[in-house]
Structure 1
Amino acid sequence: MASTAAAPVVMVTNDDGIDAPGLRFLVDQLVAEGRFRVLVCAPDTDRSGVSHCITWRPALCCKRVNISGATAFGVSGTPADCASLGISGKLFDGLVPDLVLSGINIGNNCGFHVVYSGTVAGAREAFINDIPALAMSYDWVAGQSSVNDLKVAAEVCMPLINAVMVEIKNGTYPKGSFLNIDVPTDAAHHKGYKITKQGKYMARIGWEQTVYKKPAVESYQTANINDDSEKDSEVDTSSESDLLFKRVIVKRSYDEEDGEDMDHKSLVDGYITVTPLGALSRAEADVIPYYKACLSRI
């Protein structure tokens, strides 16, 4: 085992909250390796689907959380807040992580879901501040997946995490992207790692008018954008004159004509998808001449 002082520093965050089993299993694996100094800076509650939202004016409350083998804080902020604070050197007494891991999320983050994902935002925030980062998600399927699958997902991600850390320590890890990793539903029988491209998979969201119901107990097993089961987690502040609407999944759209290396298709085929992402939202190159022509006519 490497000495604590010399060990590479890994920081874990997520969007499901610091008590989420995906994060806890990942931390357990990192601690069991005995090679890392493990830090945790994660939201104190479930902040799924907040994308890259940040807290601007209010101060963040950070409370120590007892996680064996790690130094951990639950933070009253978003995943991007947690990543930013955790890598700042202010929270962990000057310690800056060598690698940030965000996850393991419950529900895949393929295609357009990357835009909504707080898990991906946690990794992206580290990346834009020059810290290597990996976002990790498990393709949870209601009625089929179990909490133990999250433990397996953490286990099968460890070889990739170790390989990335070796590259970082050797100074050979590329700085132009961060990685978005999705583990298939049958994690124990995955077909291996596969480099993929971000596709256009999307669980299309619509709206339905509803009436207030007593909030149901929400579990981490249902806390993702892919789940269309009914759940209400907000405290009711409505009156009889208010109109209430809830999000519902209308359909799932796929974009598979672009080839076999799309992220969601490869994930469904049983691969652990590894998708390099950047932080910029550039348009497709072929639209630039169109807009140039439009501007020339103004």
Structure 2
Amino acid sequence: MTSKNNGLSAALVSNLQDVLSKRKGGSDASPSEEAPSTSVAAKEEIDEDSRPIVLVTNGDGIDSPGLLSLVEALVSEGLYNVHVCAPQTDKSVSSHSMTPGETIAASSVIIKGATAFEVSGTPVDCISLGLSGALFAWSKPILVSIFLIIIEMLWYYLVISAYFLQVISGINQGSSCGNQMFYSGAVAGAKEALVSGVPSLSISLNWKKGESKESEFKEAVGVCLPLINATIRDIEKGVFPKDCSLNIEIPTSPSSNKGFKVTKQSMWRQSHSWQAVSANRHPGAGNFMSNQQSLGAQLAQLGRDASAAGAARRFTTQKKSIVEIESVGVAPKTESRVKKYFRLEFVAKNEEHTDEDLDIKALEDGFVSVTPLSLRPKMDSETQAAVSEWISKALNADQ
């Protein structure tokens, strides 16, 4: 295939030509014309596998049983080209945070049948990196500023349409219903995909401490796999709902579920319990925050002396973070500094839910809750009018 490059970089033209040739069956492709790419993955030969690509991430970390059970099932289906880009440690309550300005290590890991990387960042970092073109050969080509919008549209048509790409974030250990979604790293990973125009699902299991068993993750996969298959099939057909992500909540004892139910996001969230922690019991607490803040610099330094995998695994953090709060008081003659240490834990709370359409109600009743999530700003007209009236009065009162 020949084409004028119109000022575009050789790497970008090569990527687009490669995708176009695959859509036509490769009849026009010329191996000798391949141009070099600055992408790490593009230096290797692009996989000729034309199966739909499924990119998997999660919030609990790459070694979590929920992710491993999901990936194993997707690979066993034999229908998908499965890629994994997930946090190396637990980031289940990282929300939509990213890690700008710090060095992120992406280390290859062995997951049978999949191409997998663990990343020293958040789920949002993982999806952003995975779709950037810097890690995987099939992902977004290099963008040239003046042609940004055009190339974005071409990328969506050529890559999304050619490979029927989908992102799945999960399976998370613990519910992400209601306002708990604001804290969920798993939901944030799926929403980051939606920001990039990629259809996505986030999946969580309503884990009950002391009651749920690890085997329930495999049951949960079996429950949601038909919906995953239908999603990818309809993406290929172009009939999957646009501009939305689906948050799937699977009840405790998944195999006993009462079926699927489309729901609305509730206001439910777990209670926040702050517990005072003795510094004597946790001698390393005083250095915890400073260690966290310099994590990127430490990883960069270690990278010069050890492999990325070794560097990534040295800085595994605990699931329950110790938060340092420092207060300064000034006495008449002397200055004193007081340090206190606290640990945050989420505690389930029992509430009565009556609205049958809410996600938490469906989940508690034993249904698989499916909640459509959108990036579109939503504000009811009554609230909009109330805010408008209040601003008008507030500004006039100051005059």
Output the TM-score relative to the length of structure 2: 0.66
* Residue number in structure 2 paired with 1:22: 66
Asked if the contact 2:54–2:80 (Cα under 8 Å) also holds between the matched residues in 1, the reply is yes
- Report what 2:227 is aligned to: 160
Deviations 1:101-154 (A, max 9, x none): 000000010000000000000000000110000000000001110100011111
Specify whether residues 124 and 232 from structure 1 end up closer, same or farther in structure 2 by C-alpha distance, changes over 3 A only: closer
Where does residue 181 of structure 1 map in the other structure?
248
CA displacement 1:176-198 (0-9 Å, x = unmatched): 21000010001011111110100
Match of 1:49 in 2: 93
Q: Which residue of 1 is the match for residue 386 of structure 2?
A: 290
Runs of 5+ consecutive residues of structure 2 not aligned to the other structure: 1-46, 141-162, 284-317, 327-336
Partner of 1:223: none
* 124-133 vs 90-99, greater mean Cα deviation: 90-99
CA deviations on 1:192-211 (whole Å, 9 max, x unpaired) are: 11101000111121323221
Equivalent of 1:243, from 334, 340, 347?
A: 340
How many Å separate the matches in 1 of 2:109 and 2:200? 23
SS in 2 for 1:140: coil
User: 2:130 maps to what in 1?
Assistant: 86
Deviation at residue 296 of structure 1 after TM alignment? 2.0
Q: Which amino acid aligns with 2:219?
A: V
What is the match of residue 238 of structure 2?
Answer: 171
Q: State the partner residue of 1:228.
A: none
Alignment pair present for 1:58 and 2:102:
yes
When Rg is computed on C-alpha atoms for both structures, the one with the higher figure is 2
- d(CA) in 1 for partners of 2:69 and 2:48? 21
- 1:288 aligned counterpart, secondary structure: helix
- The number of residues matched between the two structures is 280
CA change 1:63–1:245 in 2 (3 A) is same
> 1:201-280 to 2 correspondence within 5 Å?
201-212=268-279, 213=281, 233-234=320-321, 242-249=339-346, 252=349, 254=351, 256-257=353-354, 259-280=355-376
Deviation at 1:261, TM superposition (A): 1.2
Tell me whether 1:109 sits opposite 2:153 in the alignment: no
Match of 2:260 in 1: 193
Aligned 8 A contact 1:103 1:135 in 2:
yes
- Where 1:201 maps in the other structure, the secondary structure is coil
Question: Residue 211 of structure 2 aligns with which residue?
Answer: 144
Distance 1:275 1:233 in 2: 28
Deviation at 1:59, TM superposition (A): 2.5
**Superposition deviation, residue 94 in structure 1:** 3.0
Residues 320 and 344 of structure 2 are in contact (CA less than 8 Å); yes or no, is this contact kept in structure 1? no
Q: Secondary structure at the match of 1:130?
A: coil
With over 3 angstroms needed to count, the CA separation of the structure-2 counterparts of 1:124 and 1:214, relative to structure 1, is same
Contact 1:202 1:253 in 2 (8 A): no
SS at match of 2:99: coil
Whether the 8 Å contact between 2:323 and 2:343 is mirrored in structure 1 is no
Matched, 1:132 2:199: yes
Question: Which structure has the highest helix share of the two?
Answer: 2
Question: 1:155 & 1:207 partners in 2: Cα distance?
Answer: 37
Q: 1:50, 1:206 → 2: CA distance?
A: 17
Q: Give yes or no for contact 1:139–1:183 (8 Å, CA) kept in 2.
A: yes
Partners of 2:341 and 2:100 lie apart in 1 by 29
Q: TM-score, normalised by structure 1?
A: 0.87
Aligned CA distance change for structure 1 residues 284 and 246 (closer, same or farther; 3 Å): farther
Deviation, 1:89, is 2.4
Over aligned residues, Cα RMSD in angstroms?
Answer: 2.4
Alpha-carbon separation, structure 2, partners of 1:296 and 1:214: 52
CA distance in 2, matches of 1:296, 1:235: 44
Give the percent of matched residue pairs that are identical in Structure 1 and Structure 2.
Answer: 40
Shift of 1:155: 1.5
- Higher mean C-alpha deviation, range 144-153 or range 94-103: 94-103
Change (3 A) 1:280 1:52: farther
5+ residue gaps, structure 1, are 216-230
Amino acid of the structure 1 residue aligned with 2:118: G
Structure 1 counterpart of 2:357, one-letter code: D
**Which letter does structure 2 place at the counterpart of 1:5?**
D
